Structure 1
Amino acid sequence: MKLRWNLRTGFERYLTSWRSADDPSPGDSTYRLDITELPQLILRTGSKKVARSGPWNGYRFGGIPLIQNSIFIPRLVDNQDELYFTYNPFNTTVITRLVLDRSGTIHHYVWNEGRNEWCVMYSWPFNLCDNYEECGVNGNCRISKTPICGCLKGYVPKSQDEWNTPQTTECIKKLPSDCPRGEGFLKLPRMKLPDIDWYNESMNLKECKTACTKNCSCRAYANSNLTRGGTGCLMWFKDLTDMEECSKQYTWGQDIFLRVPASELAKLPLEASSTSSPGFIHHREMFD
Structure 2
Amino acid sequence: MAEIVLDVKNLKVNFRNEGKEYTVVNNISFHIRKGETLGLVGESGCGKSITSLSIMGLVPSPPGRIVEGEIRYNGANLLALKEKDWNKIRGNEISMIFQEPMTSLTPVFTIGRQLDEVIRLHTNLSKKQAKARSIEMLKRVGISRAEQIYASYPHELSGGMRQRVMIAIGLACDPGLLIADEPTTALDVTIQAQILDLMKSLKAKTQTAILFITHDLGVVAEMCDRVMVMYAGEIVEEADVDALFHNPKHPYTRGLLQSIPKIEEKRRRLYSISGQVPAPGSIARGCRFRDRCPSVMERCAKEAPELFSIEEKHACRCWLHAE
Calculate the TM-score normalised by the size of structure 2: 0.28
If each structure's helix is expressed as a fraction of its own residues, which one has the higher value? 2
* Higher RCO structure, 1 or 2 (CA under 8 Å, sep 6+): 2
Calculate the TM-score normalised by the size of structure 1: 0.30
